Amino acid sequence: MAQNKKLVLIADDDSDYLFQMKMFVESFGFEVITATSQREAEYIIESTKPDLAIFDLMMEKDDSGFVLCFKMKRKYPDVPIILATAVASETGYSFGINTTADKQWIKADLYLEKGIRKDQLHKEINKLLKI
pLDDT at 1: 47
Q: Is residue 41 within 8 Å of residue 68, measured between CB atoms?
A: yes
Q: Is the pTM of this model over 0.95?
A: no
pLDDT at 128: 95
pLDDT at 108: 82
pLDDT at 106: 59
Angle 92-96-97 from CA coordinates, rounded to 5°:
165
Cβ contacts of 10 within 8 Å, gap of 6 or more: 18, 21, 22, 25, 32, 33, 34, 35, 53, 54, 55
pLDDT at 28: 97
Domains of the chain: 7-129 (3.40.50.2300)
The series of mean pLDDT values per 10 residues for the chain, 131 residues long, is: 81 94 97 97 96 92 88 95 73 52 63 88 95 88
pLDDT at 113: 84
